[in-house]
Amino acid sequence: MLQRVVPVLKGKAYVNLFGALRSPATKATYAFRLKQYLSYLNMHAPDELLLMDNATAQKKIIEYILYLRNEGLSRSSLEGVSATLRKFYAMNDIELNWDKIHAYLGEDEKTIEDEAYTHEQIKRMLQFAPLRTRVLILLLASSGIRIGAIADLRKKHLTYIEKYGLYQITIYPKANQRYVTFCTPECASEINSYFEYRRSCGENIGDESPVIRKDFDRDRPGQRIESATVKALKFSLERIVRNAGLKMKHEEVNGRQTHRTKIMLIHGLRKFYCTNLGRARLQSSKIDALMGWKKGLLHVYDRSGLEELLEEYVKAIDLLTINDENRLKAKVATLEGDKDRMIQELTKTVEEMRAQVQPKDKELQELRNEIKVLQEKKDNEIQLIKKQLATVEKHQMEIIARIMSNIAASSPTPTNKRLGREASKKTQRRFSQILQILARETPQLRHHDELSREQALELARSSISSDDDNTSNFIRQVSKGVAKQVGRLATKKKK
């Protein structure tokens, strides 16, 4: 049996390919696939691939794809292999007929129906995991991040959102595939604990500090701080899965055992994330964005887009939380957030209502002020009129009193008894008529039938300051009566 050689990735062809790749995760994936292909061809280095003519190179790639299909690889895995080889030849200026090569990828069928981890399985993994691996597991399960992106992840790519107690995470910040996702408060708590542990070991955690660093010995200070490699993270996770008794058996395709398991080691956690986003009934466009799929990356990088994305993610926190206690805490935090949001909305509504009512209140107050001014003006006018009436009444009463006094004084002195008696009778009748008017109109005289002239005059004078409501009528009638009597007396005197 032919012994396979172990390829070494070096040489010009290798530099041309990997110089064009940015992401360490992509470089690791391409290196693995390229090594696999070189091992299949029994070649030592990538430069040997360039020694074949185009027709032979194309033929070998097709043979390799057919071999992998026979091994049970899915179409998506074959597309990844094809993308690696296509990039390799393109960076080395060799054009092949990729349409023809892609025709051998086969139909897009599921060779194995892979599944997601369950809450119970992840909980068991966490029980056997140290702090660093717990961060890894929860980060993969609650943010859906690909394990290859963790190597590039720095603390500056994490933004703590205090309202929900979680982190906003920017993935592939310098690449075209840049997108934003979030992690649960449970995961954020483990990340914070991990940072605190590293600080206690003497590490200065800054913006450029890796979120997950290479494993280190805390008793050896001054060790170089580097991001954990994808290979090391996979190894850690595989060891935990095995220790937790969750090692899956390899599936069979066409009677042959494959390297695939029903639950994929890494992708099973991403599938857990995607499945629970769907169970939380998030909008499909928001799921696409949170998964980092290209069709969902439009219009999510402005502030309003990120806020909407966060509000959608919050709906899934309960389903993405593993520990029951943490799930309850997350639920309480969510309810508190909902309560605060409702209070804010109610406060805003009240303020809007106040803003609408205030102008009307102002108008009403202005009307009240106008009414008050008019009332005061009216009261002043009434008081003024009353004062004027009182003055007029007083003046008229004084005139009446003087007239009455003159009438009394003007009684003729009889030259003989007959004339004296007649004049006295006429004067008495005139005075009685005036007294009748005074008795009818003046309250003080209503209960007196007989009064002397002096008493009548005194009562008339005292009535000058009376506030009786009939004063005006009294003045008018008495004045009229007196004027009439005086006129008669004057006429008779002339005769």
Q: What rounded mean pLDDT belongs to the chain?
A: 79
User: Residue 207 and residue 219: Cα distance in Å, rounded?
Assistant: 24
**pLDDT, mean of residues 31-38:** 91
- Residue 467 confidence (pLDDT): 45
Range of the domain at 93: 12-102
Query: 276 and 217 in one domain?
Result: yes
How many folded domains does the chain comprise?
Answer: 3
Band of residue 71 on the pLDDT scale cut at 50, 70, 90: confident
**403 phi and psi, to 5 degrees?**
-60, -45
Same domain, 141 and 195: yes
Is residue 259 located within the same domain as residue 400?
no
Structure tokens that stand for 428 in this block: 């008495």
The structure's pTM equals 0.56
Q: Is 216:227 a contact under the CB 8 Å cutoff?
A: no
CATH number at residue 204: 1.10.443.10
In whole angstroms, what is the distance from residue 119 CA to residue 477 CA? 110
End-of-domain residue from the set 278, 302, 322: 322
pLDDT at 199: 93
For residue 234, being part of any structural domain is answered with yes
Percent of the chain with pLDDT over 70: 70
CA distance readout (Å), 141 to 177, 199, 232: 20, 25, 18
3-state secondary structure of 162: coil
Tell me if 303 is assigned to some domain. Answer: yes
Residue 261 φ/ψ, nearest 5 degrees: -115, 165
- Residue 95 has what pLDDT? 92
Measured over the CA atoms of residue 80, residue 83, residue 88 and residue 91, the dihedral's sign is negative
Give kind and range of the element (H or E) at residue 180. strand 179-182
Same domain membership, residue 82 and residue 150: no
- Domain boundary among the residues 285, 306, 322 is at 322
Q: Are residues 134 and 218 in the same domain?
A: yes
Interatomic CA distance for residues 351 and 278, integer angstroms = 38
**Residue 107: exposed, middle, or buried by beta-carbon count in 10 A (0-12, 13-18, 19+)?**
exposed
- Give the pLDDT band of residue 56 (cuts 50, 70, 90): very high
Whether 277 and 168 share a structural domain: yes
**What does the pLDDT read at residue 388?**
81
More confident residue, 344 or 46: 46
Task: Quote the CA–CA distance of 137 and 133 in Å, as a whole number.
Answer: 6
End-to-end CA distance of the chain: 176
Tell whether the torsion through CA atoms of 314, 318, 324 and 329 is positive or negative: positive
pLDDT > 90 fraction of the chain, expressed in percent and rounded = 37
- Both 316 and 171 in a single domain? yes
pLDDT digits (tens, 9 = 90+) for 387-420: 887 887 677 677 666 666 665 555 444 444 454 4
Same domain (yes/no): 96, 176: no
Q: What's the average model confidence in pLDDT over 430-435?
A: 58
Could you tell me if residue 361 is inside a domain? no
Domain final residue, candidates 285, 304, 322: 322
Residue 308 has pLDDT above 80, yes or no: yes
**Sorting pLDDT into bands at 50, 70 and 90, what band is 466?**
very low
Which of the listed ranges 167-181, 242-256, 295-309 does the model predict with the highest average pLDDT? Answer: 167-181
Q: Based on the domain organization, do 75 and 178 belong to the same domain?
A: no
Query: Which pLDDT tens digit goes with each residue over 256-300?
Result: 555 557 788 888 999 999 999 999 999 998 999 999 886 544 444
**One domain, residues 84 and 124:** no
Based on the fold, state whether residues 131 and 274 are members of the same structural domain.
yes
pLDDT on residue 181? 95
